[in-house]
Amino acid sequence: MIRIFLSALLIILVSCHSHSKKEAEQKFDVSLLRQNEKFRIAGEYDSLISLNKRYYKQADKMNYADGKALCYINLAELNISLENFQKSQILFDNAKEILDNSEDKIHKARFYNVYGRFNLELRRLDKAFQYNNEAMSLMHKSVTSELKNDLLFSIYFRQAIYFIHKKNYEKALEYFHKAKKLDDTGLTDCAIGDYVYMHKNKDSAYKYVTVAYNKAKERGKKDGIALYANTIMGEYYLTYKEYDKAEEALNKALEINEKTKRIYAYYGKYIYNDLRVLYERTGEKEKAYHYLKAYTDAYYKTNSSLLATINQDMEAFITGAQKDTDQHKNKIYWIVFLSCAGLSLLGLYAWRIIHALGKRKEVLTLESESLKIRMNDNKQEEIIELGKKMILNF
């Protein structure tokens, strides 16, 4: 009865521990991914790096391998925006090595969604579709969670962009509207406005462009969404020859770009090109030349000091992660070594006890034999004495 009770208690304790661990991991995921997205959109490079370093260490303490993979994916995505593709590939490889052994569909969906974007940047459109479709399939098979809608938004948004590249504009618009239902930031309004402006009637784009622009103004933030909204608003004004308004919007975009360029390093060249067109049309040749040169430098060169800093951060993270992995392996080796040493000592102790018991058995056997002999001798003496008495009696 007691054994049954103890077994039941053990099962309950294990179950509670497993449930508690799962809850801690889910809180980790939600907190990390939402804060990461917040810093990424805000263009806060230092905060994003610090966040992922901190959470990587936390995942290591929790023995949460998937948590480490999420940090790798976040930093891989950052490096895509920086056009630092070699570092992205290393980080993706590290994440994939972990997630190949994972059963979590949402984590894998996050990987394939971002990896699809990476492949688009490398001009592998079919691969981008393949990976994003895999992400979508995994999300539809996953259970409802706090992160599900956040990640579905990104998957739908990227799918729309891939359909634009495929020139399937109806499908692109369909997925943009799916993404819009899950978005309250105005980012999808920017994308739809840009899409309608580029591929449909430019007049009909006004609604989406102004909605996105006004949302960005209301938010009052100098972030990636405001950067996008001000740029497309400037392009819209430029098309309709409202040059003063175009200059105001594009200069605002340039100001935001200065704040966010450590994450959106690729974006500045588009603003430079728009300003070049603006000043060419207004006859300001000196300014036009200035932005032509800025555009050319941005297009063909990378800011070496900025990239050196970024590479240093990435190398430090990757080296630190490798160090953590090596330390973890060393811990395992020490555990195995100490376990073997402990077992050897136990074995030696057991052998000594068995040997001592064997010796004791031999001693007891000898004592037993000796006792038997003495008993036999005593009996014989008693018989002789008894015989003597009987003779005397006769």
pLDDT tens track for 259-285: 888 888 778 888 999 999 999 999 998
Confidence of residue 333 (pLDDT cuts 50, 70, 90): low
Q: What pLDDT was estimated at residue 156?
A: 96
In percent, the amount of the chain with pLDDT more than 90 equals: 35
Backbone angles phi, psi at 350, to 5 degrees: -65, -40
Q: What pLDDT was estimated at residue 243?
A: 92
Q: What pLDDT was estimated at residue 16?
A: 47
At 125-137, the pLDDT tens digits run: 999 999 999 999 9
Q: What pLDDT was estimated at residue 110?
A: 96
Specify the CATH number for 185-298; select among 1.20.1250.20, 3.60.15.10, 1.10.10.10, 1.25.40.10.
Answer: 1.25.40.10
pLDDT beyond 60 at 361: no
Indicate the average pLDDT of the chain: 79
Confidence of residue 305 (pLDDT cuts 50, 70, 90): very low
Mean pLDDT of 374-390: 49
* CA atoms of 93 and 98, how far apart (whole Å): 9
The Cα-based distances of 362 to 293, 367, 374, 380 in angstroms read 100, 9, 18, 27
Tell me, what amino acid is at 44? E
At 143-157, the pLDDT tens digits run: 888 888 889 999 999
Q: What pLDDT was estimated at residue 22?
A: 87
Tell me, what amino acid is at 325? T
pLDDT beyond 90 at 65: yes
pLDDT beyond 50 at 55: yes
CB under 8 A, 24+ apart: contacts of 144-147? 145/26, 145/106, 146/26, 146/30, 147/29, 147/30, 147/33, 147/106
Q: What pLDDT was estimated at residue 15?
A: 47
At 216-258, the pLDDT tens digits run: 888 888 888 889 889 988 988 888 889 999 999 999 999 999 8
In percent, the amount of the chain with pLDDT more than 70 equals: 68
Measured in residues, the chain has a length of 394
Q: What pLDDT was estimated at residue 383?
A: 43
pTM above 0.85, yes or no: no
From 95-109, 150-164, 337-351, the region with the lowest mean pLDDT: 337-351
Mean pLDDT of 338-356: 61
Q: What pLDDT was estimated at residue 13?
A: 44
Mean pLDDT of 42-68: 94
pLDDT beyond 50 at 306: no
Q: What pLDDT was estimated at residue 133?
A: 96
Q: What pLDDT was estimated at residue 8?
A: 46
pLDDT beyond 90 at 394: no
Q: What pLDDT was estimated at residue 239?
A: 84
Q: What pLDDT was estimated at residue 102?
A: 92
Distant-in-sequence, close-in-space partners of 114: CB < 8 Å, separation ≥ 6: 73, 76, 77, 80, 92
Distant-in-sequence, close-in-space partners of 181: CB < 8 Å, separation ≥ 6: none
Mean pLDDT of 384-393: 48
In this structure, is the dihedral angle defined by the CA atoms of residues 134, 59, 82 and 88, taken in order, positive or negative? negative
Mean pLDDT of 91-108: 94
At 166-210, the pLDDT tens digits run: 989 889 989 999 999 998 777 888 788 777 766 656 666 677 778
